[in-house]
Structure 1
Amino acid sequence: MTVRPPIAARHPVRHTVHGIERVDDYAWLRADNWQEVMRDPATLAADIRGYLEAENAYTKVEMADTEALQALLFKEMRGRIKEDDSSVPAPDGPFAYATRFLEGAEQPRIVRTPRAGGAEEVLIDVDALAKGHAYYDLGGADHSPDHALMAWSYDDKGSESYTLRVRDLSTGADLDDRIETTTGGAVWSADSRTLFYTVLDDNHRPCRIYRHRVGAPTSEDVLVFEETNPGYFLGIGQTQSARYLVVDSHDHETSELHVIDAEAPDAAPRLIAPRRPAEEYDLEHNGDLFYILTNADGAEDFKIVTAPVAAPGRENWTDLVPHRSGRLILGVTLFKDFMVRLEREGGLPRIVIRALATGEEHAIAFDEEAYSLGLSEGYEFDTTVLRFTYSSMTTPSRVYDYDMAARTRVLRKEQEVPSGHDASLYVTRRIFAPAHDGETVPVSLLYRKDTPLDGSAPLLLYGYGSYGITIPASFSTTRLSLVDRGIVYAIAHIRGGKDKGFRWYAEGRREKKENSFLDFISAGEFLAKEGFTSRGRIVGWGGSAGGMLMGAVANMAPDLFGGIVAEVPFVDVLNTMLDDTLPLTPPEWPEWGNPIESEEAYRTIAGYSPYDNVAARAYPPILAVGGLTDPRVTYWEPAKWVAKLRAAKTSDSLLLLKTNMDAGHGGASGRFDSLKESAFATAFVLKVTGRA
């Protein structure tokens, strides 16, 4: 029996901006009370809920023939996870702190062990707290400097609005302190009695930082800093030295920092340097100097300068690590005797250690052709040990402790794959695809050695290409379920990321955004030309801004693809960038352009916005996934997109919308529930490629 898909009602709404009129037939899917829905999903209007549930029901029917496959995939994916797993303990004074999973538990425990010896102490049992909740996310768990208290937070809606609590670690009981609508994190001052936290406004933007005295009513909390520009987000962190709290106000290309002495928490924040358009900086601290990572003075790929703590303004910045074009400095961490920087050159990451006393530098070497690195600064400042994580597409994650003085490394943990993983069965490669304008696009590849490279294999092509984010060539246990079925897995490192330096990012945003889409298409065409797959055998996969990429390439080159997976896809770009009440819109204008003020930006966005460019064409099979309480990509974006696609497409290809009615941007919160979502999307890929 043929099941008919839901057909969304059309209620045309006319918009005129810059004298240009558009008609939006599905604007009604945007709830007028969206802020309230974020806090209480039950308040969603009945007609909108009815449509979303009808789409979910249709998706369930159309995917019913894969239910056994989904169960098998879930079993495979779960079998690759060590269920009773834990992180490598991070030392801090008398204790070492860690995260531990028990077998069968969806959520972790936060634990600590005395370094002098003794039993493990459970500080927070997140799995127990999550019982009875469809969604539960631990936002942060930060112990006080004296190890007596822990500030922790939770979100039980998926809307990224966290409730902050304070726990007495000697009794395990939470104090009366309860702070609502925070961003989740908190920073302690040196006295272990003063907390700093960031709150969200009615438009879900972090705009105020408050100081809270443990035990005092929240009505007495003091406003420390307020960001009045809606285009800037506000946060608070801490230097590795723990001496300074750092108030960070930023958008996607401009930042401004203030510091608070952790030993004087009542002092007013002190400005480092006033904001300048398109100039970023971040800082660390050691002794009487701040170490500042910045792109000031034309340092496109960033440089490191020092400034006196007593007078940190730009006029006193002195180059320490000068700018070198093509070497992108990603981050800097300071320890008592060493400075560590993570940088990328030639598309690959590198860790460089600098002895502060002598200025001598050395890099940590790695052998594989494509890999991923991550730093874990830990809690301690006076240490010679740096912890970092290494993986590749064939090598499971490895955690190393590296002695910066002795230049030796110790493997502390290797990711276990209980069901077994033989890296020798797989190939990982890095190739370069020629782009439309003479550039070359890096592509990371993973496939089994026995996969034929004669054009017959399906290929999954993953992409993102926004905000300067680089997709790492790292290990994934879920990915193996595709690769083991003869599917080639590829990541296209397209413009809009920083894989080839800051320039690579700049050439994939605003008026140059089309480069991201053309790079992705070029990568797919090159992979087909080289025999890794063939046209029509490629499944594109992307999420969030990567979902926008999926929508754009589906419009531009539908015949290249045999399927599209768009998770929480940012596809209604023009409408969203025209709505300055939405949480992310003003801070996003530097990334996409401001179509309210600029007709040029309006026309640029209108030219590629996936929703606005849906037309009568033969689209490939598409799976769109959304989250009802998502504050980043609101649920109505994929809902409107699918409604318009269904009305316009000329093919009988599968078109599915799945909305998680209990979660937001990140999907399900439990580790096994999230695997079920991965299994579902993987089953869709196998179904449309004939490998189900």
Structure 2
Amino acid sequence: MSDSTPAQSSSATDTSRPTAPRAKQLPTSRTHHGDTFVDHYEWLREKDSAEVIEHLHAENSYAEAVTADQQPLREAIFSEIKHRTVETDLSVPSRRGDWWYFTRTLEGEQHAIYCRVPAETDQDRNSAADDDANRGSWTPPQVQAGVTLAGEETIFDTNAEAAKHPFYQLGGMSLSAEGTLLAYSEDTSGDELYTLRFRDLTTGENLPEEVGSVHGGPVLEPTGARAYYMVADAAWRPHRLYMHTLGTAAEEDRLLLEIMDEQLWTGVGLSADKRELLIISGNSEYDESRLLDVTDPAAEPVLLIGAERRILHSIDPIVLDGERLLLVTHNQAGPNNALSLTTAAELTGQAADRPLDLGRLVLPHEETVKLEGVTVTAAQVIVAARRDTIESVQMLSLDTLRAAREGAAPVLTSTLPGPAFGEELYTCAVIAAEYEAPLFRVAYESWLTPTRIYDIDHAEGTPVLRRETPVHDVDLDAYRATRLWAPTGDTRADGSEITVPITVLHHRDVSADGSNPTLVYGYGSYEMSMDPSFGIPRLSLLDRGIVFAIAHVRGGGELGRGWYEDGKKLKKTNTFTDFIAATDHLVAQRWADPARIATLGGSAGGLLMGAVANLAPEKYVAILAQVPFVDNLTSILDPELPLSALEWEEWGNPITDPEVYRYMKSYAPYENVRDVEYPAIAAVTSLHDTRVLYVEPAKWVQVLREHQQGDAPVVMKIEMDGGHGGASGRYESWKERAWDYAFLAHHLGAGGLVR
């Protein structure tokens, strides 16, 4: 029998509160560095236990009962999301070889349909010397909803594949150069173990061969004769690179590389000209890089820069005047990165006991600009750079590279030309840049501008709008975005005060009068930046008079590498105090009613939610933590758990370092729950999440309820068929978002449309 107490639903005549599930206490101890912690709920980790599953179902029943009165609000928000979203939608076709590829999304369907149409190849080839004609050949065809283009083919109907399974997610797709073969990987359980399959696009049929238990998506070399894929170890770390030869059994696949360092995560991708496989094994502090010649089936990976160099970097091959060179984006010259030009021979020919020479400096380190990376084309190099929190693209000419190769002084990234946009807060990123194409494609969006697709001509640099994502029945002029800077009380080495950027989104009828319900969102880990992005679901909150504030706290990458380093390892608590400082500043600037503030964060942002709940519960009326990393110390102390060893570069290694152990224990949400009046708390998770295991929020809510000194509910909602991203399919995703937002709006007292 289970000791879990099932939730009791309220009836129309029974106004008593439902009873929360109570898990049995089964003490287990762990001791590190002389400190013993007794955990009463570690047994909930037994995922295959019928008792655990029964308890999780009881948690869902309790959450459903406690939030039953929010159902009308959930339905309203879901309907608003659904109505505003153009359900029958399509992408702008992208050209690869002799085909234009695009997606269609149909009303009533959960997933995208992948399509293509032939390009006018003979005319294109004959006019290659004519620049104007060549540009015209790269003008995408006009795709209309419900109208089939001449020669249109469906190459992959995700809905048809997903209909066979309760959960479905694509890991990735890769096409041969001629478009005759599609390699794809699929996950049908949510555990991120993918099956690699191959489809003959001339017949539309899958080949009989398949490869099981791969990590992520495959990479086909251009001829389609070979596919490259990764396999993860027991800790979910991609560590083995295999080559599969089409027409052979998976058992015959050749192991090309095995990375033994448990702190390195390996990823692969083709070079811009598709001649080499780029292999980067790294973490948040250093990488090692390799190249593999994919034109030679017998080739072996060649090590360029080893992990012992402790350099964070990426490699991009480029051909300049017939010479094959390497562009290296690296932090050797400073934390915000620089760009150097060298060759593979120069890198591999250096002695290991001497300082690494990365060649000619092209773009130097800048204190105010973070060089994020480059995209290589035959016409120029496209640079992704971040300045004042905003990431955009700039153009680096081949002539500048030639000058650097000959010894010219480097040029500043901040002086490079780039496309101009009218908004202050936006995101612009390269999404397509075929090597020989006369143009490249970017996606642009802001907090209040739906995604726009622009093609930018290499010669002229002028953006040409191809599409703006349509939104139904929304006056986008009704919303505003502004930037605040919250003082933290901390100072830099030069004596200046450290301030936290806050993005404030609100309806135009909302003013800073001290009366507004406010939702504060935060993440603050892994150098991930919360960049401007448009979200239809968010409008449902703004229309209810809620101020939506994003706190760009330390630990993220918005203000360069230093901003990240000041929020990790033994400085991690800066992330939490920054969030609280942002909350206080919103009150001081009268954007927020101090009695009506809620918070939202997921994964590492869920850890932030747990830490803030312990540090300042009195400041918030509700906290929603999505797949929350709230038992982080327990997880990182066990290197056999998924991804744990990889986390040491982010949080420190509490196994070997007693200072790290003490520091992490001082803020770990699960271990610092105390007798206090907590706000309403909801933990949302998935049973098959391999990144943040369901057991963390399952244990957390038990301890929160034990120490709760107030009347606010603590609930957990668990998706029994989902992974780290929740359930599969866009409608299910909308329902999850509606649940989250309804919970928050309800506790903010802002359930009705008041704007």
TM, length-normalised to structure 2: 0.88
1:294-333 equivalent positions in 2, closer than 5 A: 294-297=330-333, 299-313=334-348, 314-333=356-375
Q: Which amino acid aligns with 2:19?
A: R
The answer as to 2:389 corresponding to 1:347 is yes
Percent of residue pairs identical: 39
In 2, distance between residues paired with 1:338 and 1:194? 30
1:108-257 equivalent positions in 2, closer than 5 A: 108-116=112-120, 118-257=150-289
User: What residue is the counterpart of 1:47 in the other structure?
Assistant: 51
The answer (yes or no) to whether the contact 2:284–2:650 under 8 Å persists in 1 is yes
The answer as to 2:691 corresponding to 1:638 is no
Match of 2:673 among 614, 618, 622: 614
The answer as to 2:399 corresponding to 1:357 is yes
User: What residue is the counterpart of 2:725 in the other structure?
Assistant: 666
Which ranges in structure 2 are unaligned for 5 or more consecutive residues?
1-13, 121-148, 349-355, 402-410, 491-496
The answer as to 2:35 corresponding to 1:20 is yes
The answer (yes or no) to whether the contact 2:328–2:358 under 8 Å persists in 1 is no
Q: Which amino acid aligns with 1:338?
A: Q
Which ranges in structure 1 are unaligned for 5 or more consecutive residues?
35-43
C-alpha deviation, 1:491, in angstroms: 0.4
In 1, distance between residues paired with 2:604 and 2:721? 22
The answer (yes or no) to whether the contact 1:536–1:559 under 8 Å persists in 2 is no
The answer (yes or no) to whether the contact 1:456–1:533 under 8 Å persists in 2 is yes
Aligned length: 678
In 1, distance between residues paired with 2:444 and 2:553? 23
In 2, distance between residues paired with 1:171 and 1:507? 55
Which protein is bigger by CA-based radius of gyration? 2
Q: Deviations over 1:262-293 (max 9, x none)?
A: 21132010111111364211111211111111
In 1, distance between residues paired with 2:234 and 2:268? 20
The answer (yes or no) to whether the contact 1:396–1:414 under 8 Å persists in 2 is yes
Q: Which amino acid aligns with 1:89?
A: P
C-alpha deviation, 1:309, in angstroms: 3.6
In 2, distance between residues paired with 1:118 and 1:282? 42
Q: Deviations over 1:330-353 (max 9, x none)?
A: 121010020111111122222110
Match of 2:314 among 267, 271, 282: 282
C-alpha deviation, 1:187, in angstroms: 1.3
1:433-452 equivalent positions in 2, closer than 5 A: 433-437=486-490, 438-452=497-511
In 1, distance between residues paired with 2:443 and 2:56? 41
User: What residue is the counterpart of 2:462 in the other structure?
Assistant: 408
The answer (yes or no) to whether the contact 2:442–2:453 under 8 Å persists in 1 is yes
C-alpha deviation, 1:436, in angstroms: 2.9
User: What residue is the counterpart of 2:440 in the other structure?
Assistant: 386
Match of 1:292 among 321, 324, 328: 328
Where 1:211 maps in the other structure, the secondary structure is strand
The answer (yes or no) to whether the contact 2:719–2:726 under 8 Å persists in 1 is yes
The range that moved more, 431-440 or 164-173, is 431-440
Where 1:272 maps in the other structure, the secondary structure is strand
Q: Deviations over 1:53-79 (max 9, x none)?
A: 111000011111111221111110011
Match of 1:472 among 531, 534, 537: 531
Q: Deviations over 1:288-334 (max 9, x none)?
A: 1111111114x210011111143334435221111111210112101
The answer as to 2:413 corresponding to 1:377 is no
The answer as to 2:485 corresponding to 1:432 is yes
In 1, distance between residues paired with 2:682 and 2:259? 39
Where 1:428 maps in the other structure, the secondary structure is strand
C-alpha deviation, 1:190, in angstroms: 3.5
Q: Deviations over 1:494-535 (max 9, x none)?
A: 000111110000000000000000000000000011110122
The answer as to 2:653 corresponding to 1:594 is yes
Where 1:362 maps in the other structure, the secondary structure is coil
Match of 1:581 among 606, 626, 640: 640
Where 1:435 maps in the other structure, the secondary structure is strand
User: What residue is the counterpart of 1:39 in the other structure?
Assistant: none
C-alpha deviation, 1:374, in angstroms: 2.1
C-alpha deviation, 1:235, in angstroms: 2.0
Where 2:308 maps in the other structure, the secondary structure is coil
Q: Deviations over 1:163-219 (max 9, x none)?
A: 000100001111112111111311122332011110122332211011110010111
The answer (yes or no) to whether the contact 2:391–2:429 under 8 Å persists in 1 is no
User: What residue is the counterpart of 1:85 in the other structure?
Assistant: 89
In 1, distance between residues paired with 2:230 and 2:599? 37
Q: Deviations over 1:662-687 (max 9, x none)?
A: 00100011001100000001110111
C-alpha deviation, 1:383, in angstroms: 2.0
Q: Which amino acid aligns with 1:290?
A: L
The answer (yes or no) to whether the contact 1:507–1:513 under 8 Å persists in 2 is yes
The answer (yes or no) to whether the contact 1:543–1:567 under 8 Å persists in 2 is yes
C-alpha deviation, 1:146, in angstroms: 2.3
In 1, distance between residues paired with 2:177 and 2:292? 16
The answer (yes or no) to whether the contact 1:337–1:357 under 8 Å persists in 2 is no
